[in-house]
Amino acid sequence: MKNRVIEAIAKYDMLAPGDHVIVGLSGGADSCALVHVLFSLHEQLGIEVSACHINHNLRGDESDGDEKFVRRFCKELGIALEVYNVDVKKSLGKHESIEEAARRLRYECFGKACGTSGSKLATAHTANDSAETVLMNIIRGTGTKGLAGIPPVRENFIRPLIFCSREQTEEYCVQNGIDYVTDSTNLTDDCTRNRVRHRLLPLLKEFNPSVIEAMTRMSAAVGDDEAFIEEYSRRCAEECKKGIGYDSRRLGELPAAVKFRIISAELKRNGVEPTRLRISQCCEIIDRGMGKVNLQKNRFAYVRKKIFFAGEEIQNYRRDQFLQ
C-alpha cells in the first residue's frame, strides 16, 4: 500500500519537499491508514503532517466517541490535530439532504484548516470510493468527467490513497497494529452510495473479481483525456473571448465537447449549475445568433451583438400584469 501511495503522489505531483499536509481524519480505517503512512513517509518526502477531524454531531455518543478516539490516536502518533464541531441538521439548506449538508460543512472546515498557509488537504478516498462514484454517475447519466471518478488532485486537495483499495487499507491497519472505528451509518443501505457499495459492486465482482482495479485503470485513462480536453477548451475560450463574454460565431463553430465546457464554465462563474438542459438552451441561442434564456431565478444567458454571456437580471413584476 505504501508503494501505491508513493506512486500516486509522484504521478499527480501531489506533494513537494517543505509541504504541510493536513489529513482529514474521520477515525475509520482509510483515514487512519493515510495518517500513518504519510507520517511514516514524512522524512523521505520532506513534509510536515497534521490532521483535522470534523464532528458532525449526527450520531450522538458515537460521534463523540469518534472524536475521543481521533484525539487519542493523534496524541499517540505525536501529530497535531484540529477538531471542528458542526451541527449539520441546523445548517440544512433548502432542498439539501443531510449528506449534502455534511459534505458542504466538512469542506468548509477543511478550508478553515488550510487557511491562507498554502497547506495541502489530504482526504482518504480510495479506489473503491472512486469506483462507487463512477457507478453512481453512470446510474444518473454522466459525461466523460463522471467516468473519471474522484480527481486525484483538485486545487489544494489531494487523494494519496486513490490507487489503494479499501481492503488494502484495512490490511495495512492490521499489519501495523492500527486501531480504527467503524461508522455505523456505513453499514446500512439508507443511501445510494451504500447500496452501490453493498449490492452493486459485489455483483460486478462476480463478473470480474478485479473490477475495482479495472475501474481504476479506466478512470485514470479517462482522467488523462479529460485533462487534455479541459486544457484545450481553456485555450479556445481565451481565443473566443470578446468583451464581457465570447464571440458567439466562433463559439458556435467549436466541437460540441469544447463548446459545452466553455458554456459550463461561464454558467458556473455566474453561480448557475451547468446542467445539460441549461447548456443545450445556451447552444440554441448561440446557433440562432441572438436570444435570451432564463437559467434560474434572476440568472440569464444572452446572445447580444454576437456576444454570448451570462449574468444577473432582477425581474420586477407588477401585480396588475397578472390580472390583465
Mean pLDDT of 12-17: 96
The answer to the question of residue 227 being in a domain is: no
- Predicted pLDDT of residue 115: 84
pLDDT higher at 214 or 118:
214
Q: In angstroms, what CA-CA distances link 258 with 96, 253, 262, 277?
A: 31, 10, 6, 16
What SS3 string covers the chain? CHHHHHHHHHHCCCCCCCCEEEEECCCCHHHHHHHHHHHHCHHHHCCEEEEEEEECCCCCHHHHHHHHHHHHHHHHHCCCEEEEECCCHHHCCCCCCHHHHHHHHHHHHHHHHHCCCCCEEECCCCHHHHHHHHHHHHHHCCCHHHHCCCCCEECCEECCCCCCCHHHHHHHHHHCCCCCCCCHHHHCCCCHHHHHHHHHHHHHHHHCCCHHHHHHHHHHHHHHHHHHHHHHHHHHHHHHEECCEEEHHHHHHCCHHHHHHHHHHHHHHCCCCCCHHHHHHHHHHHHHCCEEEEEECCEEEEEECCEEEEEECCCCCCHHHHCC
- Label residue 170 left, alpha or beta by phi (over 0 means left) and psi (-120 to 50 means alpha): alpha
Residues 62 and 194 in one domain: yes
The parent domain of residue 128 ranges over 2-218
| Residues 50 and 132 reside in one and the same domain | yes
**Together in a domain, 149 and 9:** yes
Q: Do 95 and 209 have their domain in common?
A: yes
> Would you state the pLDDT for residue 321?
45
pLDDT of 61 reads 86
**Residue-wise pLDDT tens digits, 33-68:** 999 999 999 999 999 999 999 998 888 888 889 999
Question: Do 269 and 198 belong together in one domain?
Answer: no
**Model confidence at 187, in pLDDT bands (50, 70, 90)?**
low
Domain co-membership, 167 together with 299: no
CA distance 129 to 75: 28
Is 90 exceeded by the pLDDT of residue 70? yes
Give the pLDDT band of residue 116 (cuts 50, 70, 90): confident
Write the CATH number for 307. Answer: 1.20.59.20
Residue 87 vs residue 264, higher pLDDT: 264
* 171 in any annotated domain: yes
pLDDT value at residue 320: 44
Clarify whether residues 286 and 159 are in a common domain.
no
In a domain, 296, yes or no: yes
Tell whether 52 is covered by a domain: yes
Q: Is the pLDDT of residue 208 over 70?
A: yes
Looking at the domain assignment, is residue 236 inside a domain?
no
> Residue 237 domain-assigned?
no
More confident position, 248 or 95: 248
Q: Do 247 and 214 share a domain, yes or no?
A: no
Summarize pLDDT for 262-272 with one digit per residue, the tens. Answer: 999 999 999 88
Same domain, 128 and 181: yes
Considering the domain architecture, whether residues 58 and 132 belong to the same structural domain is answered as yes
**pLDDT tier, 318 (very low <50, low <70, confident <90, very high otherwise):** low
CATH number at residue 183: 3.40.50.620
Same-domain check for residues 89 and 189: yes
The predicted pLDDT at position 319 comes to 47
Quick check: is 238 in a domain?
A: no
Task: Name the pairing type of β-strands 241-242 and 157-158.
Answer: unpaired
Query: Domains in the chain: how many in total?
Result: 2
In a domain, 226, yes or no: no
The answer on 248 and 214 residing in a single domain is: no
CA distance 146 to 142: 5
What pLDDT, on the 0 to 100 scale, is given for residue 316?
62
Least confident range from 115-119, 149-153, 158-162, 254-258: namely: 115-119
Supply 201's cell numbers: 459492486
